[in-house]
Chains A and B, each alone.
Chain A
Amino acid sequence: MTAAIEIDGLSKVYTKRKSPPVIAVDDLSLSIPAGQIFGFLGSNGAGKTTTIKMACGLVLPTGGSVRLHGFDVQRQRGQAMRQIGAVLEGTRNVYWRLTAWQNLLYFGRIKGVTGQPLKERAERLLRELELWERRNDPVRDFSRGMQQKVAIACALVADPPIVLLDEPTLGLDVKAGRTVKRWVEQLARNEGKTVVLTTHQMDLAESLCDQVAIMSQGKLIANRPTGELLGLFRQEGYELRFRGKIEESVAARFEGFSPREENGHTILSGTISEHGRLYRLLEIAEIQGLELLGVAQADPNLEEIFVELLDRAGKGEHSPAHPMNGRLPHATIREVI
């Protein structure tokens, strides 16, 4: 089966007179299976938006290609565009002076849908997004969250199998963000759509995405199923709980672990990357006569992982990004990241 999105050796270098070239996307390869919610994470300037826009045919790649359900965005533009709808970052995406209904009809026709099917589709979308009652109000009178919903509805009006959402919850209040999130979830789960979203809200990616790719400086520094990415680091974070206070000199023997006190206990937390380490640490504890209350795996969230990965990427610890799509056996994961 062909992937919904197949990115192959994609790169983009922005060149402008009077300024040095910017490598926004650097030899990115990636394949996103159909029906997935895929998250692109990365700090500002990582190249997420550029990648999305290249998939939309709005930015011409310097090299490489994007295929949407097998259709090359450059060479088979028409068919490729039928595969996607997109809500882009930081802009209105729709006409604020038109009503929600007028926007849907206008963009529907632009996307090649007409007549009764268009009207039915528009009505369904507006009802599902709870905008039907206000379909005849100009979009400019809507709340930010509703405006974003209209933009999403317009992206979906031609019923494309792939939806690209660039920072869909940016600038939304918590409630609106939640509605958008629920809707995205429903799109993938009930309608089988492939949803690609970029965000720098880790909690959103964590709770929503099946797979997460982390970008940094145009490169992929991780690309794994969300659970696996979390699990990977869950193994590493440990907390050792001891009764009573521990002197600093003693705590220092637990290299790489930092102590904190909680309810009269001392908790040493740190990461363990090699199997035997835990046992050696417990040995030290025994020798020091500490009373062990428990050993727990700490639960890092995506945010911590993200920071950690960026850290490592910054130190040049990662090998060039290998888009393995999580197919690698566990033992070699470290090298992949």
Chain B
Amino acid sequence: MALAGTVVVNEIQKRFILLWAYKFNFFTQMFMIGFIFVGISFFMAGGQPNPEMLASGLVGYLVWFFALAAISDMSWGIREETQTGTLEQMYMSPLPTGVLMLGRSIASLFISILMVGMSAVVLVLALGVSLPITWTALPVFLLTMAGLYGFAFILGGATLVFKQVEALANMMQNVLLFLNGALLPVDRLPGWMEAFAKTLPTTQGIIVLRRVILDGQSLAQVWQDGSLVGLVINSAIYFVVGWFFFRWCENRARRLGALGQY
């Protein structure tokens, strides 16, 4: 436990320093992403978005923001570290690799929470929407993130073995934006597409988060209507599959000599 704590704090520290080193990039990106949201919302509402629509869109958009970060940490992030050799150094740690990878993911999530939190505050104030977040949202949020990181692990594993997954990662980021219900609710999609969208990570999470945050439903309510159950199943599958796939890819990369650059 103490070990895991040290690993997490160590990773968070590193991420903070790196974030600060790239602060210009970072703030430009944050601004861009915020700006795009405003643009899209106005566009979709024909120039007159109502606060309710904005709030609903914002919940989805913020979750997508997390997806953006998780996916890029696991694909570009890992790819860069295979090239700099720092990933190999990490794999030479005597600590269990699983603990290190989990530590990285938790650090990644932690940084995202700060980033998204900051953007959320700015957007909420700028757009005048209300986002009454309560503690009920926390377990739903964490479940959503578990599924998301499971998904990101799949891309991370693929990055280790195949190297060139940038295009795939990029596509997934866009697919998620349009299909996870962030911008338009999935029940407005054609039936087959809705079914597909609901198998993606974050889609179900966004549905439940909206019910909890915007409609003020309790956990019991969302459990009874089955939406929370769906989220638990979706996230559990993604997390377990992603985790084991990643571990399998690590092994495969060791076989190929692909943990470092070659």
Contacts and interface: CB of A to CB of B under 8 A. Distances in A.
Nearest to B257: A59
A97 B86 CA distance: 12
A77 B250 CA distance: 15
Contacts of B92: 56-58, 81, 84-86, 111
B50 interface: no
A50 B257 CA distance: 8
Contacts of A88: 85, 88, 260
Interface in B86-123: 86, 88-96, 100
A92 B256 CA distance: 21
Contacts of A105: 10
Given A53-B260, A106-B10, A112-B95, A59 B254 contact: yes
A284 to B, nearest CB: 55
Interface string A45-74: 000001001001111100000000000000
Contacts of A53: 88, 257, 260
Nearest to B19: A97
Contact of A97 (B18, B85, B257): B18
Interface footprint category on B: 20 to 34
B12 to A, nearest CB: 11
B84 A96 contact: yes
A315 B261 CA distance: 33
A188 B260 CA distance: 28
Given A59-B254, A91-B260, A97-B21, A110 B85 contact: no
B261 A82 contact: no
Contacts of A111: 92-95
B18 A95 contact: yes
B169 interface: no
B87 to A, nearest CB: 9
Contacts of A97: 17-18, 21-22
Contacts of B88: 53, 56, 58, 88, 91, 93
A292 B95 CA distance: 69
A94 interface: yes
A93 B93 contact: no
A107 interface: yes
A308 B259 CA distance: 35
Interface residues of A, number: 39
Given A58-B88, A92-B84, A95-B84, A110 B17 contact: no
A177 interface: no
A14 B100 CA distance: 27
A110 B90 contact: yes
B7 interface: yes
A144 to B, nearest CB: 15
A138 B17 CA distance: 11
A265 interface: no
A111 B94 CA distance: 6
B202 to A, nearest CB: 30
B99 to A, nearest CB: 11
Contacts of A14: 256-257
A59 B93 CA distance: 14
B259 to A, nearest CB: 5
B13 interface: yes
B17 A91 contact: no
Contacts of B3: 112
A208 interface: no
A102 B17 contact: yes
A110 B10 contact: yes
Interface string A190-224: 00000000000000000000000000000000000
Contacts of A110: 7, 10, 89-90, 93, 95, 100
B236 to A, nearest CB: 29
Contacts of B84: 91-93, 95-96
B254 A58 contact: yes
B6 interface: yes
Given A14-B256, A81-B94, A110-B93, A93 B86 contact: yes
A91 B85 contact: yes
A132 B84 CA distance: 24
B199 interface: no
A90 B261 contact: yes
B56 to A, nearest CB: 38
21 contacts: A14-B257, A16-B256, A57-B91, A58-B91, A59-B254, A60-B255, A81-B93, A88-B260, A90-B261, A91-B84, A91-B261, A92-B84, A92-B86, A93-B85, A93-B88, A94-B86, A95-B18, A96-B84, A109-B10, A111-B93, A112-B93
Given A16-B256, A56-B88, A93-B86, 8 more contacts: A12-B257, A53-B260, A82-B94, A91-B84, A92-B86, A95-B14, A97-B22, A109-B10
Interface of A: 12, 14, 16, 50, 53, 56-60, 77-79, 81-82, 84-86, 88, 90-98, 102, 105-107, 109-112, 114, 138, 154
**Which 3 pairs show the lowest CB-CB distances between chains A and B?**
A91-B85, A81-B94, A60-B254
